A and B are shown apart, each in its own frame.
Chain A
């Protein structure tokens, strides 16, 4: 599947700013150290289904979101950079501005 490009410049900036927070969430909440924002979490086995469920709960709590699992593709969660993009698209402030 293809991801829609992050065409909105502000969205892309938000995602970049969010990435360290996603990385910190992995370290602090899941006790997983992710080597880089582009590490493939699926291929390396760092993220499995149990941790995915945990991660989803932490993301919802941290960012005040409700995510429907039906909206999630594997590609959205392949790297912490991708997760940051996924979250950026769903932040209410941006959505209100028509960016998401």
Chain B
């Protein structure tokens, strides 16, 4: 029985030290090397003062070495906090300030961000820095606690660890509605339970070659990594720049001879739009999984038509309940573009509940709030007890006070087939290209700009492949020369690219409802109507 995630690696390293564990481009780590390298990193972290319960932030690009760092952190009894190296420094600073790490691991790719963190006081207390770059003096803006060179001289033997399965493995920060990202705490046990379900249900084997498409700050990557280690398979990290060109992703699947692909649907939709998949393409591929948002049925039909030899499975679940909580395998290609794909039935150890506002089950077919219960539930948000209490409730159907349910904010219904169907969102969180975005975080950032008096950020439906577009209605301060272009540029210094509005509308003033609040619905309705009129035949 596996208690800690790193045990999977150690077991595979003993069994087949020379097998490939993780590969990206020319960098490849065998199980043996991943084991010893992560041991060395654990020794370095321990010497830098890391102890049980500590956090280690990873300001590192996607690479096999970063995988070794993640495992090294776990072996040092700490939990890792992956940071997005492409995110603007002010946002990274908020996450680092909240995580209060003992150590931050960085390399040349994150040097500019690190420099900004050091200069603008993103560090509270004393954060020690581990420099994980093979090139020692490339853009290193400080004196580190240890360097990559020193790590590689440390003992390769196991460092004993003392943490338990209910300790945190990682904290993943997601968009927060008030402008500050919130950290979702995930335990070893929650990941292990989901990965055990997945390896069993999908039948992962040591001969598998799994895709590593999602970045490490995205929770889908947890299945990629630990699903690989659990069975001794090979993880093929997808170089992020291939994401720009859908046909390069197709080439990658072919060249790497992947047996499994797992990503957000937007990638698959674009590949369908550009028609980069040939009939019977990817002969080694066995499974295609997606999670994170709705996969439009027309694109799914394209994929199923192209790849009759592949099994297609929709996974559903927010970060707060660990990777996914329900699944639905699409048995046969839908006949019609309008057929909705259910989010299915719960994975082992999980429950999906569709409840009304008094927390009573709604009858089948009726729409209610979707709650999740079971082994995947996070202990809550990092150092945010109020937000935790608002989203994680005591299970009204159980006497045990530790039995909790998580309010997903999704609306759902149970179909006549007994399967659960996603219907929409109950709040202002949206999914765009698989990213979970709180519109409130964008608004909060906009309102910090000197030229903006008022702003409302809205989700605008599109009929294209973009899914939901982010629209911004704004009122500029009088006498200031504000354009969408200048706003976008200023906002880009505060928010990552995927959070930037793609549509803009200048207003004299924003309409308000009877309570004096900005009437977002009216803005959105008028905006979509105006656009429809502009495009329409009349």
A interface residues with partner B (beta carbon < 8 Å): 27, 31-33, 42-50, 52-53, 69-70, 72-74, 77
Instruction: Confirm or deny: B241 has a beta carbon within 8 angstroms of a beta carbon on chain A.
Output: yes
7 closest A-B pairs by beta carbon, nearest first, are A45-B497, A42-B241, A69-B247, A45-B86, A49-B270, A74-B241, A33-B489
Docked-complex contact B497 and A70, CB < 8 angstroms? no
| Chain B residues whose C-beta falls within 8 Å of the C-beta of A32 in the assembled complex | 488
Complex CA–CA separation, A70 to B245 (angstroms): 10
Q: Which residue of B lies closest to A50 (CB)?
A: B466
Distance (Å) between the CB of B292 and the closest chain A CB? 15
- Say whether, besides A31-B484, A48-B497, A53 and B247 are in contact (CB < 8 Å): no
| Chain A residues whose C-beta falls within 8 Å of the C-beta of B497 in the assembled complex | 44-46, 48
- How many of chain B's residues touch chain A, expressed as a range? 20 to 34
Instruction: Confirm or deny: B246 has a beta carbon within 8 angstroms of a beta carbon on chain A.
Output: yes
Instruction: Confirm or deny: B297 has a beta carbon within 8 angstroms of a beta carbon on chain A.
Output: no
- Say whether, besides A45-B496, A50-B465, A77 and B245 are in contact (CB < 8 Å): yes
Most A C-beta atoms less than 10 A away, residue of B247, B266, B484, B498: B247
B interface residues with partner A (beta carbon < 8 Å): 86, 241-248, 266-267, 270, 273-274, 276, 433, 465-466, 484-485, 488-489, 496-498, 502, 504
Complex CA–CA separation, A16 to B326 (angstroms): 54
| Chain B residues whose C-beta falls within 8 Å of the C-beta of A49 in the assembled complex | 243-246, 266-267, 270
Complex CA–CA separation, A47 to B86 (angstroms): 12
- Say whether, besides A31-B502, A45-B86, A50 and B270 are in contact (CB < 8 Å): yes
Query: What would 15 A/B residue contacts be, using CB atoms closer than 8 Å?
Result: A33-B485, A33-B489, A42-B244, A43-B241, A45-B496, A48-B243, A49-B267, A49-B270, A50-B433, A53-B270, A53-B465, A69-B246, A70-B247, A72-B247, A74-B241
| Chain A residues whose C-beta falls within 8 Å of the C-beta of B488 in the assembled complex | 31-33
Docked-complex contact B244 and A52, CB < 8 angstroms? yes
Docked-complex contact B245 and A52, CB < 8 angstroms? yes
Most A C-beta atoms less than 10 A away, residue of B241, B270, B466, B488: B241
Distance (Å) between the CB of A1 and the closest chain B CB? 11
| Chain A residues whose C-beta falls within 8 Å of the C-beta of B270 in the assembled complex | 49-50, 53
| Chain B residues whose C-beta falls within 8 Å of the C-beta of A46 in the assembled complex | 497
Distance (Å) between the CB of B490 and the closest chain A CB? 10
Q: Which residue of A lies closest to B249 (CB)?
A: A49
Complex CA–CA separation, A27 to B504 (angstroms): 14
Q: Which residue of A lies closest to B433 (CB)?
A: A50
Most B C-beta atoms less than 10 A away, residue of A45, A48, A53: A45
Docked-complex contact B485 and A53, CB < 8 angstroms? no
- Say whether, besides A33-B485, A33-B488, A45-B86, A53 and B273 are in contact (CB < 8 Å): yes
Q: Which residue of B lies closest to A49 (CB)?
A: B270
Docked-complex contact B247 and A74, CB < 8 angstroms? no
Q: Which residue of B lies closest to A27 (CB)?
A: B485
Q: Which residue of A lies closest to B496 (CB)?
A: A45
- Say whether, besides A50-B270, A50-B433, A69-B274, A31 and B485 are in contact (CB < 8 Å): yes
Complex CA–CA separation, A48 to B243 (angstroms): 7
Docked-complex contact A48 and B498, CB < 8 angstroms? yes
Docked-complex contact B485 and A72, CB < 8 angstroms? no
Complex CA–CA separation, A65 to B116 (angstroms): 43
Distance (Å) between the CB of A27 and the closest chain B CB? 6
Complex CA–CA separation, A32 to B504 (angstroms): 13
Complex CA–CA separation, A52 to B496 (angstroms): 17
| Chain B residues whose C-beta falls within 8 Å of the C-beta of A50 in the assembled complex | 266, 270, 433, 465-466
Distance (Å) between the CB of A82 and the closest chain B CB? 13
| Chain A residues whose C-beta falls within 8 Å of the C-beta of B267 in the assembled complex | 49
Contacts beyond the supplied A45-B86, A50-B270: 12 A-B pairs with Cβ under 8 Å: A43-B241, A45-B496, A47-B244, A48-B497, A48-B498, A49-B243, A49-B244, A50-B433, A69-B246, A73-B248, A74-B245, A74-B248
